[in-house]
Structure 1
């Protein structure tokens, strides 16, 4: 029997925010060796306060991914996602963020804290930060102005020309690089293009690992544009922005939404200046990318990627 057939297939999911957490809820149910590589660039809210006061990577995206992969998710969700309403210093903090911060103090290391909590909560898979230190984002806008900080970039409401990381010599977590190099399939996205996806891909070790990997690389494009970040972007614009930042083509397949979004939902998004990300047939032909079109979302007041559907697509790519 082929050695590949005797072990679980290795899937690495890279991103941050709600997009990554959503698809992980589907992927954890498959018989896979799953690794999530999570951005550490968040600097807003509770995560931002903790990264400054505790000198630690921001815990927010890690918290959401731990929840998504936990076996006892409903109870954990309630505890971990509880946000304090009162108190001069506690108000606004997520209990989950504080638990991660406490575990870092106990273990002396952020990555060790995440691994310990993964065991405590019976997480299916491995959760790794892209780096074992905080990253700050630097965005150069089309008009030449510079904006520093993940939370400030969308607020500027300007077209982003170039994104870079501070510090420039950031080192990828060795375990994350190893996971990428050993993967059978790498899933990138969905998630905020400039504040969730690219911050991972710009970490030198992660970027090089993807290019050196023999894995098939899939990009799951967002269903909607994000105000102040990807205004007016098509699917091709998303892919072009990534390639302009990391160089040579890396995607074998791009997954795009072709489902019809209900008018009432569209109206809600339009009020927030967000619109569907359009795929123009043939627009990715110059990149030699296979396009997979499907209805990718579920509707629950707002759109969320359909974890079951995305998992089906990933498994088809893996075994097809």
Structure 2
């Protein structure tokens, strides 16, 4: 084996699964480390520009994929602004995001949503690989505690009723082959952070996805949110997040749970409380009862909003998968 082959073999293969802001924040940290990185991204969004393209072009929504591509790309600030640009005027253009339109165009040019993503990944020279969890158009649905059924990822958190379960339609939506291969070959698999019911579970509910993760020999890591989300996880502790996932896709999915144990500044807490969000309590003992190792630490990066400290999380993940 040549030196270059030996070095390539030593680079850990990491799969990160999720969507929304949390996934993009984490990937901006991870791309600075020597990793063979694959991001598997939710395609359940049905709001805004993504929702319009989904409806009009019969394609999976591109918004979460776009954000992940930007997070992994080494692009000039102006190009990032171009990809994230949202039109404010124009008949038919107002509200659309330019990056979404580019992905839609590449989907038509290549004839396939995933192929279009790979072509844009090549143009942007991203550090890693971005894959949709499924190439099919799926709809997220939720059964609420009052027995009602809500359809649509964007509508579910706005109902104001506790979520009992979510499911995707069609329930037999097939995963992208490359995503399943990445999971089977991974040294580490990270799920989260992200909206529990509308970003994480839509990936895990794709047929065969959870079973493939469970069967993988990789270190499986769940990163819990630092704050609850109004309409989704009101009053949830860290173990409530884990147990909700296990109720949907079966237990023994995670080896390690990373949870925040720091208290946000009071002013930040008050601002989030006004929006119906509170700190997620890290109930370690209850998590350990599920057979998970717990890593608890100050995960907060506090600015105008709370974010996970991507640099600290990335170093923690690297230590775990190198054990």
Partner of 1:155 in structure 2? 158
In 2, distance between residues paired with 1:73 and 1:159?
43
In 2, distance between residues paired with 1:257 and 1:313?
13
1:128-277 alignment, distance < 5 Å: 128-277=131-280
| Corresponding position: 1:105 with 2:108 | yes
Can you give the 5+ residue segments of structure 1 that lack an aligned partner in the other structure? none
Verify the 8 A CA contact 1:44 1:151 in the aligned structure 2: yes
1:107-126 alignment, distance < 5 Å: 107-126=110-129
In 2, distance between residues paired with 1:287 and 1:224?
22
> How many pairs were matched up?
320
For 2:66, what is the secondary structure of its paired residue? helix
TM-score (normalised: structure 2): 0.96
Pick one of 284, 290, 294 that aligns with 1:281: 284
In 1, distance between residues paired with 2:98 and 2:107?
14
Can you give the 5+ residue segments of structure 2 that lack an aligned partner in the other structure? none
Partner of 1:308 in structure 2? 311
Verify the 8 A CA contact 1:16 1:197 in the aligned structure 2: yes
Verify the 8 A CA contact 1:14 1:36 in the aligned structure 2: yes
In 2, distance between residues paired with 1:188 and 1:36?
10
Change over 3 Å in CA distance of 1:206–1:3 after alignment to 2: farther
Change over 3 Å in CA distance of 1:246–1:37 after alignment to 2: same
For 1:276, what is the secondary structure of its paired residue? coil
| Corresponding position: 1:92 with 2:95 | yes
In 1, distance between residues paired with 2:149 and 2:7?
47
Give, in angstroms, the shift of residue 73 of structure 1: 5.5
RMSD, matched Cα: 1.5
Pick one of 15, 27, 35 that aligns with 2:18: 15
In 1, distance between residues paired with 2:113 and 2:131?
10
Pick one of 72, 81, 84 that aligns with 2:84: 81
In 1, distance between residues paired with 2:224 and 2:127?
25
In 1, distance between residues paired with 2:154 and 2:291?
34
Verify the 8 A CA contact 1:180 1:213 in the aligned structure 2: yes
Verify the 8 A CA contact 1:82 1:95 in the aligned structure 2: yes
Change over 3 Å in CA distance of 1:170–1:192 after alignment to 2: same
